[in-house]
Structure 1
């Protein structure tokens, strides 16, 4: 007498599906916990900006202030001069971003599309500058700026910040332009376009994702720059940027933590807004440059 064993239909598929779903939920929980740990310091800072000086550390890990103290923002904006610091930071950052985008885009375009004597040497020098600490360049930068009469001015700060190598930005543009078909340039040249016309009218508009990436990276670096703006504003406190202006809350015997938290929130809001607006282009620019 023979016995036939029948397998339950779909049993193996259902087990695999349950296993996959379990792995997905475990990963989701781990990522969620990591996201909470990453966001918590920012949330705590926002909470601290609405507390008084004693409640900042007296409330422990509690994020809800007993009574929101909105005067902290007024004190940071007016008494500490963060209104002027914000204006200075916007001027310096916007000018620096424009100069860096144009310069790095043109440098990446030339290196990627043209063959010239010394091209490999230029690449080696650019990559070598990645290993040079900022502290080694601050002395010659300040010395040159002082001799040119640019030391205590926003224009000098812009030139100093935008005059760095910005090798990562150049490499991003170079990788993107290398993958652009040459037929586009040839068609523009046949129509009578020169080098600048081809670059500004054809190539640069095509590199919009990379431009958004470089804009965001440069914006973050310039907005948060501390060492160079500090040196350039030693004798001109009215030219301080937001990062340097944080020193206004540090006294000889005490620190105004609630005011500093409010000032930090003010300084971070433009960065968060810009990242939200450009995050899609940022990902596309990084992926496109790496793929190329």
Structure 2
């Protein structure tokens, strides 16, 4: 019989090996961003470059305009995350705490929307943004990305709010608090683990969003985000692969830093939603 200690050791070794295999593509990309284009194409899976080409990052930041794309992405991502959190929390609160006619039908419709691919809605979304007079603007991209059902987040908030005791709301209502006051001053602060989970997941999705920013910035390249800006490295007859790797590294680092910093809140939020 294998002892518990030996079994744990074997599991840890296997997990470490799996982790190395899992992160190798990212490590390879980082080192590839420091190679020449020729070395990138001929070095295969080798990591260490013959000579570190730090100018790849300078070219990506200035020549490929990643400095502008980075600022666009920050504005686009932060604004979208704030809107999504507010709308998802408010919708989840209504579905989780309030009984009204047709509630089950609305829940079914919300869940059904989950199965509609986002690509199928891009044309009506583009038309809607244009009719609102928001085309060729960062606000239009934000509105387009923040729109949609965000079903996962709504269900997480609804599940969390549905399991909170009624006495919390009743105490606030006795003190004269209205619907929005109860929601913003009492219920929303209690749901901070879900808010943190929503913020992290939506941040990652929005930061790497490609389709919506691509369609809505076709006629205005200066509004591109980092994901769309990767096209700058693709020319008609050549591709700057090492520059693209540098751009991808610049794009991914903020996401990894945010996730590392907030992973505890992410785990707490998921655990709280499942437990609820």
Query: Where in structure 2 are the equivalents of 1:230-269 lying within 5 Å?
Result: 230-269=214-253
What residue is the counterpart of 1:131 in the other structure? 115
Query: Where in structure 2 are the equivalents of 1:146-165 lying within 5 Å?
Result: 146-165=130-149
Deviation at residue 19 of structure 1 after TM alignment: 2.3
For 1:236 and 1:284, the matched residues in 2 are separated by: 41
Moved more, 56-65 or 200-209: 56-65
Deviation at residue 57 of structure 1 after TM alignment: 2.9
What residue is the counterpart of 2:68 in the other structure? 84
Structure whose alpha-carbon radius of gyration is higher: 1
Per-residue CA deviation, residues 126-181 of structure 1 (Å, 9 max, x unaligned), is: 00001111121111111111122212111011111111110000011111111212
For 1:164 and 1:111, the matched residues in 2 are separated by: 17
For 1:41 and 1:129, the matched residues in 2 are separated by: 34
Are 1:28 and 2:34 matched, yes or no? no
Per-residue CA deviation, residues 96-141 of structure 1 (Å, 9 max, x unaligned), is: 0000000000100110000001111110110000111112111111
Q: Which residue of 140, 145, 148 corresponds with 2:124? A: 140
What residue is the counterpart of 2:94 in the other structure? 110
For 2:90 and 2:231, the matched residues in 1 are separated by: 38
For 2:102 and 2:221, the matched residues in 1 are separated by: 44
What residue is the counterpart of 1:211 in the other structure? 195
Moved more, 142-151 or 71-80: 142-151
For 1:135 and 1:260, the matched residues in 2 are separated by: 25
Q: Give the gaps of 5 or more residues in structure 2.
A: none
For 1:31 and 1:95, the matched residues in 2 are separated by: 37
Deviation at residue 251 of structure 1 after TM alignment: 1.2
Per-residue CA deviation, residues 190-233 of structure 1 (Å, 9 max, x unaligned), is: 11111111111111111111000000111111111101100000
For 1:174 and 1:281, the matched residues in 2 are separated by: 19
Q: Give the gaps of 5 or more residues in structure 1.
A: 1-15
Q: How many residues align?
A: 276
Please give the TM-score of this superposition, normalised by the length of structure 1: 0.92
What residue is the counterpart of 2:264 in the other structure? 280
What residue is the counterpart of 1:190 in the other structure? 174
For 2:180 and 2:263, the matched residues in 1 are separated by: 29
Deviation at residue 59 of structure 1 after TM alignment: 2.2
Superposed CA RMSD in Å reads 1.0
